[in-house]
Amino acid sequence: MRSGPSEQQQWNTRYATADVAGAEPAEVLAWHSHLLPRRGQAVDLACGLAGNGIFLARRGMQVEAWDFSERAVTAVNAFAASHGLPLSAHVRDVVEQPPALDSFDVVVVSRFLHRPLCAALVAALRPGGLLFYQTFTRRKVTGRGPSNPDFLLADGELLELFRDLQPVIYREERDIGDPASGLRDQAMLVALRAC
């Protein structure tokens, strides 16, 4: 559960001078975009500056982008309108208001973890829908990501959290081999809801 207005103000401050044009999609989405459906409805959950949502909208999907920060949402909506993108951003506390059942063909979450929400994300996917998820792990190589272990994945945990979906892509490199190469400090999953 979020702490309320003070936390929202922190996120508003963070996004006060941020540039939506520079927002990039998460690697899990950019690297595996060939798996996306040609059309459909998608949600970029806890979107920030909606790098994922903009990426999806540019590929013809109808996108909703949800975030706790009013400033981020305002900036994303202005960018989408000025670029003619099929994207609508909304201020929404996704913990208190998870997506509805069978409402999306694609759900994307990056660098956000609230374990009790995972079952709702699975249920929000339509049959044949895809989840793209990427966030930080407890096993750190570079030290990126939050310090609070509540917001960090244990080894293999992402697969367990979404065990009701069929994994298509899973990557978690931990601290094996050359720590200066590859995807470190994070795990990613692309998973399918069976038809």
- One-letter amino acid of 177: G
pLDDT at 184 (0 to 100): 81
pLDDT tens, residue by residue, 104-162: 999 999 999 999 999 999 999 999 999 999 999 998 878 788 889 899 999 999 999 99
Q: Per-residue pLDDT for 194 more than 70?
A: yes
Please state, in angstroms and rounded to a whole number, the distance separating the CA atoms of residues 124 and 131: 10
Q: Cα separation of 28 and 177, whole Å?
A: 21
Task: Look at residues 152, 80, 145 and name the one whose alpha carbon lies nearest to residue 114.
Answer: 152
- A 10 A CB-CB count for 163 gives 11
Residue boundaries of the structural domains of the chain? 42-192
Query: What average pLDDT does range 37-49 have in this prediction?
Result: 96
Indicate the CATH number for domain 42-192: 3.40.50.150
**Is 11 a residue whose pLDDT tops 90?**
no
pLDDT at 1: 39
The identity of residue 111, as a single letter, is R
DSSP state of 160: H
Token pair recorded at residue 94: 């996704």
Q: What is the pTM of this model?
A: 0.90
Q: How far is CA 65 from the centre of its chain?
A: 10
